[in-house]
């Protein structure tokens, strides 16, 4: 996965040349352009305390350890999983001073819970460094700097033989900064979604530049309570950028936005890109930690007594099965794309034939008109009586006469 900066380039293009090609629409002021953002941010400041981290820390003794070896369990407000009678935690690493120590994996199990985390503990009552978290019931894995909330989240869905996979990466919010900076991608979708999400509203950026079947390159809008609300714009692959004001999901008027608005959205997109780079770099390091862990446990001689060995060593399996499914679906998508390309080609040929036929019909009409005019001229000349004009000039010694017939 790579971060794209095309949207920022688009902003530069709009500022340099877009204004000259815009239709003659009312140019709104900076104050009006940012009125929605100002309102939403003021509301966010009032709500921020309600969305702050209200987690509780518990230190739980692993069910598989006979000696004191407590592990860290963070419980958010409303999360009562540790109260489940079937709740258990397992730890496959070492212990020191009554706490987990070193590199290892935690396993959480309950009535409706099957999760695990790869972590490094320091043998004391201190939050460990988490690198990978997996939620098996949700088919979701997070890889990166989990503690600081920069990671890549991969979700795999297999519903009624419909295989899908998507990635979200960037900054997932913290107590100090309760907003998210996320890029969403899928190998099966040419569009890219980016957003900066506050608890009450979002900046939403769509990149369709790689979608050969979409007429637009980029769309931007502000999302409030699940609907587009505020000023936004759309840039087609040919033509000028169109801007407008949305209310409750509907366009209410077309406007011309000031340059400062495009600069603002460019800075938001840069924030999202920077967060994405940090998340991807953190994922690379997390995968190194995973490799080191696998070197310790992916051996025939290694086994545990608190879970099935096959389940325990599932982390040692390569991802070839997933890759095969991805390749199969991509092949299906490519077939559909080729069919759509052929449909477009046939449609374009049909349009071209219709235009050619229309041009030929028009030419036939003009030829017929020209022929009629020619015939009319010929008839006029044939049916007009001839008149002879004689012009004589007197000269010395005689008379010189010339005749002209019309």
Give the integer Cα–Cα distance in Å for 286 and 290. Answer: 6
**Burial class of residue 393 in the structure, from the number of CB atoms within 10 Å of its CB (0-12 exposed, 13-18 middle, 19+ buried):** exposed
Give the integer Cα–Cα distance in Å for 336 and 312. Answer: 40
Give the integer Cα–Cα distance in Å for 319 and 311. Answer: 15
Terminal alpha carbon distance of the chain: 87
> What are the b/e assignments for 204-230, b being 16+ CB within 10 Å?
bbbbbbebeeeebbbbbbbbbeeebbb
Give the integer Cα–Cα distance in Å for 28 and 243. Answer: 11
For residue 114, is it within any domain? yes
pLDDT of residue 6: 56
Query: Residues for the chain: how many in total?
Result: 406
Whole-prediction pTM: 0.80
Give the integer Cα–Cα distance in Å for 270 and 277. Answer: 11
pLDDT of residue 20: 42
For residue 195, is it within any domain? no
Q: Give the residues across from 35 on adjacent strands.
A: none
Other Cβ atoms less than 10 A from the Cβ of 110: the count is 16
Give the integer Cα–Cα distance in Å for 156 and 140. Answer: 7
Three-state DSSP class for 401? strand
For residue 218, is it within any domain? no
Q: Which domain, by its residues, includes 119?
A: 53-138
pLDDT of residue 17: 42
pLDDT of residue 3: 46
pLDDT of residue 345: 79
For residue 101, is it within any domain? yes
For residue 130, is it within any domain? yes
pLDDT of residue 361: 84
Q: Which ranges of 384-401 would DSSP assign to H, the alpha helix?
A: none
Do 106 and 135 meet the contact criterion of CB atoms below 8 Å apart? no
Q: What is the mean pLDDT of each run of 10 residues along the chain (406 residues)?
A: 51 46 77 96 86 80 96 87 93 97 97 97 97 96 97 90 91 90 95 96 95 92 95 92 94 95 95 98 98 94 91 87 80 81 80 82 81 74 60 54 54
**Burial class of residue 37 in the structure, from the number of CB atoms within 10 Å of its CB (0-12 exposed, 13-18 middle, 19+ buried):** middle
Do 299 and 171 meet the contact criterion of CB atoms below 8 Å apart? no
For residue 89, is it within any domain? yes
* Rounded (5°) CA angle 92-131-283: 140
Three-state DSSP class for 269? helix
For residue 285, is it within any domain? no
Other Cβ atoms less than 10 A from the Cβ of 71: the count is 25
Q: How far is CA 56 from CA 78, 110, 115, 214, in A?
A: 10, 19, 19, 47
How many separate domains does the chain show?
1
pLDDT of residue 319: 76
For residue 12, is it within any domain? no
Structure tokens at 178: 């309760």
């Amino acid at each position: 996965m790579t971060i794209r900066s095309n949207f920022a380039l688009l902003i530069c293009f709009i500022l340099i040349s877009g204004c000259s090609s815009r239709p003659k629409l009312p140019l709104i002021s900076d104050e009006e352009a940012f009125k929605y953002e100002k309102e939403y941010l003021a509301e966010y400041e009032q709500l921020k305390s309600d969305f702050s981290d209200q987690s509780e820390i518990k230190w739980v003794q692993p069910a598989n350890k006979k000696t004191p070896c407590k592990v860290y369990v963070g419980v958010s407000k409303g999360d009562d999983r540790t109260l489940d009678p079937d709740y258990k935690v397992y730890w496959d690493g070492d212990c020191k001073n009554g706490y987990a120590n070193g590199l290892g994996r935690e396993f959480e199990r309950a009535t409706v819970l099957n999760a695990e985390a790869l972590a490094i503990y320091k043998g004391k009552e201190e939050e460990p460094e988490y690198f990978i978290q997996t939620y098996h019931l949700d088919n979701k894995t997070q890889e990166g700097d989990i503690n600081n909330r920069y990671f890549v989240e991969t979700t795999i869905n297999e519903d009624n033989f419909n295989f899908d996979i998507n990635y979200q990466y960037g900054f997932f919010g913290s107590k100090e900064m309760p907003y998210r900076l996320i890029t969403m991608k899928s190998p099966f979708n040419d569009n890219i979604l980016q957003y900066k999400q506050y608890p009450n509203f979002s900046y939403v950026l769509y990149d369709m530049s790689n979608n050969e079947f979409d007429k637009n390159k980029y769309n931007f809008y502000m999302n409030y309570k699940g609907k587009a609300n505020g000023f936004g714009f759309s840039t087609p692959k040919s033509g000028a950028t169109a801007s407008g004001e949305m209310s409750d999901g509907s366009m209410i008027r077309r406007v011309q936005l000031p340059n400062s608005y495009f600069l603002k959205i460019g800075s938001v997109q840069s924030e999202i890109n920077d967060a994405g780079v940090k998340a991807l770099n953190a994922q690379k390091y997390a995968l190194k930690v995973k490799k080191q862990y696998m070197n310790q446990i992916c051996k025939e001689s290694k086994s545990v007594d608190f879970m099935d060995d096959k389940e325990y060593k599932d982390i040692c399996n390569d991802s070839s099965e997933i890759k095969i499914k991805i390749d199969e679906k991509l092949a299906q998508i490519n077939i559909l794309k080729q069919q759509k390309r052929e449909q477009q080609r046939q449609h374009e040929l049909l349009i071209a034939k219709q235009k050619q036929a229309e041009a030929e019909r028009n030419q036939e009409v003009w030829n017929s008109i020209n022929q009629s005019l020619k015939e009319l001229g010929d008839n006029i000349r044939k049916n007009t009586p001839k008149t002879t004009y004689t012009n004589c000039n007197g000269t010395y010694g005689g008379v010189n006469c010339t005749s002209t017939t019309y």
